[in-house]
Structure 1
């Protein structure tokens, strides 16, 4: 009895591989712009931001390409967040500011403990919140002035439309902390952007 030709099996494998590559390519195009903005705001350096995003895509491709496409977004942002944290630790070592960093982290966590009941503002539409009269440069400047954790919470929740639970997983913190960071980001952005449009 003849079985399926080996060439057909090989062709099927190639098609499957090409399909994954094509879907990854589409995914990269969809998220790369927003991811780059996030990293530029977090690092203040375009080249560093680009490297972090590229390294994260490479890691996603190498380790998680065969996972369902629905899992790629949280996986990618988890990888990106870890890369960012590594970069920040390296920068801290270079600048020899260990005492300053420890103090900042402790104070931040103490503030969060007393604010966990803040309501999550789930219905904010970034297009409406960030008034269309504002230029992209003004918006990016306001976001870049936020503390890192507020940047992450705002961009993941508002721009990437992730729920609180997924955002907490990516940021490696509690859902209460995400709500607090997000709430503070909203308040701070409203304050900064009001300087451009007092009305």
Structure 2
């Protein structure tokens, strides 16, 4: 019996697995820092929880989508990460309110869409702020935003996703993304105005 075909097939599978793991390692190195910043803001600075959520998202990505291209991984990863975060937030809400299982857990109260919002451009986080602001000041302002506004801002301004992709990741309409992003920009400008001389505040 000729076992060569099976041996070759086994070698091919091993090569594909090695390639996928190598790609995932490079992908993780590229996005881990930004993903952690996003999760730390969403969990109010709980670094351990943020790390767990990011790691779980990577594990799920590798387990279910190792055959996808690296470009496809970006929205898939953030969709998985968003789902992990939502699950964690639901558990936290139920833990805080022991009898909340009798009613629907309301995680966000700013989902009402504003009418006639023009889709804004996606500046870098510093582009509309004073360049002298520190990363800590900006991250602190982001952390003070409602969760969905944080998501919309981080996905669009930090990750550079368009409105359509952001809506898919957040599992909401494009109108909601525009609303959350618009409110996030307004909230950040307001929160940091006293540090930004270009908006009439003072950095002293």
The TM-score bracket by the shorter chain reads 0.7 to 0.9
Report Cα offsets for 1:127-152 as digits up to 9, x if no partner: 42243311111111010001000000
Please report the RMSD computed on the Cα atoms of aligned residues, expressed in angstroms.
2.3
Report Cα offsets for 1:68-109 as digits up to 9, x if no partner: 22210111111110111111111111111847954x74x533
2: CA distance, partners of 1:130 / 1:16: 45
Q: Which residue of structure 1 aligns with residue 95 of structure 2?
A: 94
Structure 1 gaps of 5+ residues are: none
Q: Which residue of structure 2 aligns with residue 195 of structure 1?
A: 194
1:108 equivalenced with 2:107 (yes/no): no
Paired residues for 1:68-83 under 5 Å: 68-83=69-84
Distance change >3 Å, CA 6–CA 93, structure 1 → 2: closer
1:47 offset after TM fit, Å?
A: 0.7
Q: How many residues align?
A: 193
Q: Which residue of structure 1 aligns with residue 20 of structure 2?
A: 20
Report Cα offsets for 1:40-92 as digits up to 9, x if no partner: 00001111111100111011011111112221011111111011111111111
Structure 2 gaps of 5+ residues are: none
1: CA distance, partners of 2:6 / 2:83: 42
Runs of 4+ in 1 over 4 A off after TM superposition: 2-9, 97-101
Paired residues for 1:1-199 under 5 Å: 7-44=7-44, 45-96=46-97, 98=100, 102=106, 105=108, 107-109=109-111, 111-112=112-113, 115-197=114-196, 198=201
- Asked if the contact 2:123/2:157 (under 8 Å) is kept, the reply is yes
> So what's the TM-score if we normalise by structure 1?
0.88
Q: Which has the higher contact order (CA 8 A, sep 6+)?
A: 1
Which sits farther off after the overlay, 119-128 or 84-93? 119-128
SS for the counterpart of 1:128 is coil
**Structure with the higher helix share, 1 or 2:** 1
2: CA distance, partners of 1:46 / 1:3: 51
